[in-house]
Structure 1
Amino acid sequence: MGAGWLPWSAASLASGAVLLVLGALSMPPTTEVGQVIDVVTHQDGAWLMASASFFLASVGLTMGLPAVLWLFPRRHQTVGLVGLWIWAVGTIGTAGVAAILILFRAVVHTVEMTPAQVEALSDDPLLRLGLGAVFGAFYLGELVVALVLLRGRAAPVWVPGLLLLHIAIAPVNHLLPVQLQGVQTIVLGVGLMGVAVRATEAWAGSRPLARL
């Protein structure tokens, strides 16, 4: 079976990374409920852009993950494949996050809700469980893949290093100044683009030279 699909998958991974960064930077730089409601009400375009970006990023990243397979050493392929399957749960779940953003927008524009009511809605245990599962799968899959890439030396050290840095920042990202909280997603985007470029280079290097 040929690997002519790989450049397309790598391009999809890079596109998904860019869209993920765009979606994250389009979100309001605050977690205060009243300000978020104000953004949805008065900056509807930015909210819709974030929702659309997260949905398209979900498609791009999911279709792009197979390109990472090209970088796994043979002895680590099983572990790497498990990591990709776990990561895929997170990337597919990103579309669910986009759907929640759209639903939240519809609620704000349709029903008069106070910040306290929105806060109570966000505390729903099933909603928290679902989002926790999506983010947990995303970070766990990313961690496994980054460690396999690091051990296998199939990519420059900075590529899995950025993926690991993205995971390390996650617990403290909310403590950073608002202006710097988007850096975490930018780190992930650069790391994913590095994976895409390296996968394409490895694929191109493995092809037999065309006859003149």
Structure 2
Amino acid sequence: MAAGRADARGGLLAWSASCLVIGTMALTLAASLNPNPTGVNAAAVLEVAMAPGGRWLAMAAALLIGSVALLAGLPTLLIPFRDRARGLAMAAVATLAVGVLGSSGYAALLVFVRALADQEALRPGRLPRALEDAEVVMVLFVWVGSFYLGVLLMAVALLRARVAAPWVPIVLLVVVGCLPLVSMAGHIGQVVQVLLLAVAFTEIATRAVQRATPA
């Protein structure tokens, strides 16, 4: 009975770890599909929905798949933490979850903007003005801010607990620190930023599975 429960728990952990990796890679795909350097500029992200072709649909699908997979994989980030900094790690995961939900929100906005563009109810030049509404700006700020704040808290938790390779929290800090520079770095910069996040999360997922697997 105990062995069966252990096997089930190990299988669930492996599934969650896989979702974490799939989710970050899906976000990497979404970043590579977006031709505009974004930073925190929501209008630059959503302009792809008004361009001809199916790039917007692939980007929306990647964002949706990435957000669902990441939500299923976020519990994996807590596995390496047993005692030290566990509360901080839980706060990081909770904050990240809000930001991850924002990814699905961006996917919905892409579909919504495309529908308005197809009906000629919204033109490209009016998109930045449409996003100047205070409530829209606040929601977008909370989504983006929560994601990067969660990454920052996770980096601090890893530094305190020392449960991952020393380079992992450094990479996470670089991801957060690069946020103001993404717009200047262009398309390559945003792809590299998300790739760094994917590498760090993959290392954490691998360490979590190894730690939970009996020797």
Coarse TM-score class (shorter-chain normalised):
0.7 to 0.9
Q: Does 1:143 align with 2:138?
A: no
**Structure 1 segment 55-70 matched on structure 2, within 5 A:** 55-70=64-79
- Whole-angstrom distance in 2 between the partners of 1:20 and 1:114: 27
TM-score under structure 1 length normalisation: 0.87
For 1:116, the equivalent position in structure 2 comes to: 125
Aligned residues: 205
Does the 8 A contact of 1:29 with 1:179 survive in 2? no
2:13 corresponds to which of 6, 17, 36: 6
Percent of paired sites with the same residue: 31
Does the 8 A contact of 2:85 with 2:161 survive in 1? yes
Q: CA deviation at 1:41?
A: 3.5
Change in 2 beyond 3 A, CA 1:172/1:76: same
What code does the residue aligned with 1:40 have? Answer: M
Structure 1 spans left out of the alignment, 5+ residues = none
For 1:156, the equivalent position in structure 2 comes to: 165
For 1:192, the equivalent position in structure 2 comes to: 201
Q: CA deviation at 1:154?
A: 0.8
Change in 2 beyond 3 A, CA 1:51/1:91: same
Question: Aligned with 1:28: secondary structure?
Answer: coil
Question: Aligned with 2:79: secondary structure?
Answer: helix
Does the 8 A contact of 1:73 with 1:154 survive in 2? no
Change in 2 beyond 3 A, CA 1:180/1:89: closer
Change in 2 beyond 3 A, CA 1:115/1:199: same
What code does the residue aligned with 1:41 have? Answer: A
* Root-mean-square deviation (Å): 2.3
For 1:19, the equivalent position in structure 2 comes to: 26
Does the 8 A contact of 1:20 with 1:54 survive in 2? yes
2:93 corresponds to which of 75, 78, 84: 84
Change in 2 beyond 3 A, CA 1:38/1:96: closer
Q: Which stretch shifts more, 1-10 or 130-139?
A: 1-10
Change in 2 beyond 3 A, CA 1:61/1:39: closer
For 1:165, the equivalent position in structure 2 comes to: 174
Question: Aligned with 1:181: secondary structure?
Answer: helix
- Whole-angstrom distance in 2 between the partners of 1:76 and 1:198: 17
Structure 2 spans left out of the alignment, 5+ residues = none
TM-score under structure 2 length normalisation: 0.86
- Whole-angstrom distance in 1 between the partners of 2:48 and 2:70: 31
What code does the residue aligned with 1:26 have? Answer: L
Question: Aligned with 2:30: secondary structure?
Answer: helix
Q: CA deviation at 1:178?
A: 3.9
Change in 2 beyond 3 A, CA 1:91/1:37: closer
Does the 8 A contact of 1:71 with 1:149 survive in 2? no
Q: CA deviation at 1:181?
A: 3.2
What code does the residue aligned with 2:18 have? Answer: A
